[in-house]
Amino acid sequence: MNNIMLSDWVQIALYFAVLFALVKPLGLYMARVYGGERTFMAPALRWLECGIYKVCGIDEKAETDWKAYAVHIIVFSALMLLGLYGILRFQDILPFNPQELSGTSPDLSFNTAVSFVTNTNWQAYGGETTMSYFSQMAGLTIQNFISAAVGMAGLVALIRGFTRKESHTIGNFWVDMTRGIIYILLPLSIVLAVMLASQGVVQSFKPYVEVQAIEQGTQTIAVGPAASQVAIKQLGTNGGGFFNVNSSHPLENPTPLSNFLEMLAILLIPAALCYTFGYMARDTRQGWAVLAAMTVIFVPLFFFCAVQEKGGNPHLANLAALEQAAGNMEGKEARFGVVNSALWATATTAASNGSVNSMHDSYTPLGGLVPMLMMQFSEVIYGGVGCGLYGMLIYVLLTVFIAGLMVGRTPEYLGKKVQSFEIKMASVAMLVPLVAVLLGTAVAAVTAAGTAGPLNGGAQGFSEILYAFSSAGNNNGSAFAGLSANTPFYNTALGFAMLFSRFWCLLPVLAIAGSLAAKKSVPPSAGTLPTHTPLFIGMLAAVVVLIGVLTYVPALALGPVAEHFEMLKNL
């Protein structure tokens, strides 16, 4: 902590002040959108909403049970996956391809299509050298909107499960998705895209530019419609970069202000959805409690990462004082510095975003452990839009269940009894990502195709494999780098990890929503555990941390922890 300077403290305080100041107004607005209430955006956008319903034959007032809601999500997502796969395979004959890029291979097309449909945005390709403008816009950017809206719809369905009594319906997926895109994601993305373009984020349809290099020869500068994609990639916690190096690229994130705006966008909707939850549940204290539990975990881990990076590499302790004071600047942009890089790395892996403004592979071993661990907490510390909060509510149900066992009472939450069916479904939703990560890592670590991927040996190489499956298995999408992932093995294995983790978490959540909606509401009694108190917040945070740490301690010991001690042994 002593290495963090006053200017760093000011930036950190400003970031959290702005973020939490926006939670209530945005959260309230989103609650009214999903509640079907009229908002200030209705005069401008209601005609578009009604037009979509008319063209698509959607009955705005019709609702379905959880099974039909789940079928709609699965069928729609499958169609989106096939459509995106086709765009990528045949982009060479599609328009807006000034560089005449060829179609992508079958395994890369599968991986990328799965990645963007599941809101993961894992990228095994370089954007400016692989994807045409058409693929970026009609394929990837559109899926950024849709996949985010699907996650938010799943959350809203779960909230209705808590709030409805003896009901067999949990809403209308088509209406929830449409409203999420039109009233929330689209307006916010337009505002952010304009602000980013004002800072120099490129937005162009021109061919790549040939310029005279400072030294001999010429250099090709990749351009394209980046600002519009960057806006939704951050707001929708998608994270897929227009350029290969993502938000460390000067045309994707050119200034400290653009960096601040993009970091703010990463956590904005996930944090505000906590207030949305509390408002829709008619007890805003519950939303604040969940947000507090997330923050209690996030802040210490961020500071731990920042301190590790500020401390630098002990093998370089003899450098000049000024250089040492800067900390570990390997893989980081000078215009952002160590603290802003550490904050971004922690936020992007906490929020299921996956975008980067520095290379996580170049972090110190324990500094790099933090983003890895944030993903391994099942992406519930803020998490992805919608999916992060419904994942955290799964942990809430588990915490309530554990507390009920401790005091010998039937667990209750928001007036609903938590019984065996809910706990079984919660266990499935919680265990699927863990299995995807650990099984995928184990297979990759013992097969020739898997071990051919890491560019480093030993603990660092194992960390690169573990990070990749932690990212895919928790629908994050960030990369540790140093792993040659564009191979049939990794494209296929990571693709299936993304598919299972997305939908085998979402389906149990919808089942819980249907089960809770059908139940009667139980009035609070002397035995009801208050779920908005500091005690419960602490219990919830402890359950999240304990499950994550106990699950991954052996793997982490073989990776970043072992590398840390290797670094220290020769001092």
Q: Could you tell me the pTM of the whole model? A: 0.94
Helix-helix angle 534-556:387-407, to 10 degrees: 110
The sign of the torsion formed by the CA atoms of 159, 268, 237, 34 equals positive
- Taking 60 as the threshold, does the pLDDT of residue 342 lie above it? yes
CA distance 306 to 341: 8
Among the ranges given (195-199, 232-236, 317-321, 431-435), the one the predictor scored with the smallest mean pLDDT:
317-321
pLDDT, tens digit, 9 for 90 and up, residues 390-406? 999 999 999 999 988 88
Q: Residue written as tokens 């996949």? A: 147
CA distance 132 to 95: 9
Which of the 8 DSSP states describes residue 114?
Answer: H
pLDDT, averaged across the chain: 91
**Amino acid identity, position 538:** G
CB atoms within 10 A of CB 225: 18
pLDDT, tens digit, 9 for 90 and up, residues 75-89? 999 999 999 999 999
Chain centroid, CA 294 distance in Å: 14
pLDDT, tens digit, 9 for 90 and up, residues 506-561? 999 999 999 999 999 888 777 778 889 999 999 999 999 999 989 999 999 999 99
Per-residue confidence (pLDDT) for residue 1, from 0 to 100: 57
CB 418 within 8 A of CB 397: yes
Closest CA to 180 of 206, 153, 162: 153
CB 257 within 8 A of CB 199: yes
Q: Percentages helix, strand, coil for the chain, rounded to the nearest 5?
A: 65, 5, 30
Per-residue confidence (pLDDT) for residue 537, from 0 to 100: 95
Per-residue confidence (pLDDT) for residue 250, from 0 to 100: 92
Angle at 154 between CA 150 and CA 156, to 5 degrees: 115
Confidence of residue 571 (pLDDT cuts 50, 70, 90): low
**Amino acid identity, position 211:** V
Per-residue confidence (pLDDT) for residue 467, from 0 to 100: 92
CA distance 35 to 430: 28
pLDDT, tens digit, 9 for 90 and up, residues 347-383? 999 998 989 999 988 899 999 999 999 999 988 999 9
Q: What does the block give as tokens for 518?
A: 């059908």
CA distance 502 to 524: 34
Beta bridge partners of 412: 417
Beta bridge partners of 225: 203
In three-state form (DSSP H/G/I as H, E/B as E, the rest C), the secondary structure along 426-472 is HHHHHHHHHHHHHHHHHHHHHCHHHHCCECCCHHHHHHHHHHHHHHH
Distances (CA, A) of 282 to 35, 276, 277: 12, 10, 9
pLDDT, tens digit, 9 for 90 and up, residues 147-168? 999 999 999 999 999 999 999 9
Torsion on CA atoms 201, 203, 206, 208, rounded to nearest 10 = 30
Percent share of the chain, pLDDT over 90: 73
Stretch (H or E) spanning 211? strand 209-212
- Taking 90 as the threshold, does the pLDDT of residue 56 lie above it? yes
CB 459 within 8 A of CB 555: no
Buried b (16+ CB within 10 A) or exposed e, 278-290: bbbbebbebbbbb
Closest CA to 15 of 344, 484, 440: 344
Largest CA-CA distance found in the chain, in angstroms, rounded: 79
Contacts of 448 (CB under 8 A, 6+ apart): none
CA distance 16 to 22: 10
Closest CA to 68 of 516, 521, 513, 519: 513
The three-class DSSP label of residue 416 is strand
Per-residue confidence (pLDDT) for residue 76, from 0 to 100: 96
Q: What is the mean pLDDT of residues 42-69?
A: 95
Burial class, 327, CB count within 10 angstroms (exposed 0-12 / middle 13-18 / buried 19+): buried
Q: Residue written as tokens 């550490």? A: 342
Per-residue confidence (pLDDT) for residue 498, from 0 to 100: 95
Per-residue confidence (pLDDT) for residue 482, from 0 to 100: 81
Per-residue confidence (pLDDT) for residue 410, from 0 to 100: 77
Q: What is the mean pLDDT of residues 196-225?
A: 87
The three-class DSSP label of residue 28 is helix
- Taking 90 as the threshold, does the pLDDT of residue 299 lie above it? yes
- Taking 50 as the threshold, does the pLDDT of residue 322 lie above it? no
